[in-house]
Amino acid sequence: MPIRILFDIPTKSLENSDRFASARDCVDGIIPALFAPYSADSTPVPLDTRLVAIEIRGKHTFAILDSSHSDYDFFTAHERQHNKLPVYLVDLKQRDRPLVRRAPKFDRMINNMVGEMHRLNGYEVRTPYYLDYGAGVMCYLNPRGLKMAAPKEGEVEVAAEKGVEENVPGETT
């Protein structure tokens, strides 16, 4: 069964020089302990695990990981129907005792966020996505599904024929 895991990591526990690498290392270190009790063989980690995103939001750093999501398709991951995974929360406030629980109240929010991250980052940027909200405004150069507003065929000619030019108030022509 595919699942999505949300890690809540205290930002202060990460190395300041490279918080993203530190968060990734933290997640990599906890994954074997999460899956070991459920492993049928000696392989403690499912082969199909994918780090989707790391977000730094002030005191909290969040990492999102998909597990056993064999239907994942990078090219359609922004569509809602492909983001309906159950979310589990791993709270790492106390590193020696992570709290793991099913978090149904986060299902819609986290799944929508993952879809939106795929949409905003476009097709050129691959997972994992790294976002640091303390670093300033995010800039997305080529989002998916961006439609440009363009006049319909014939509208330009009709406007020109009608003489649709605005005069500046107070000016005489």
Domain extents in the chain? 3-132
pLDDT for 103 beyond 90: yes
Q: What is the pLDDT confidence band of residue 164, given thresholds at 50, 70 and 90? A: very low
pLDDT tens digits, one per residue of 45-84: 556 889 999 999 999 999 999 998 888 998 999 998 888 9
**Prediction pTM value:** 0.76
pLDDT (tens digit per residue) in 115-153: 999 999 999 999 999 999 888 888 888 898 755 444 455
Starting at the edge strand found earlier in the chain, the sheet holding 129-132 runs: 99-102, 87-91, 3-10, 60-67, 49-57, 129-132
Q: Which contiguous run of DSSP H or E holds residue 57?
A: strand 49-57
Split at pLDDT 50, 70, 90, the class of 40 is: low
Average pLDDT over residues 80-100: 86
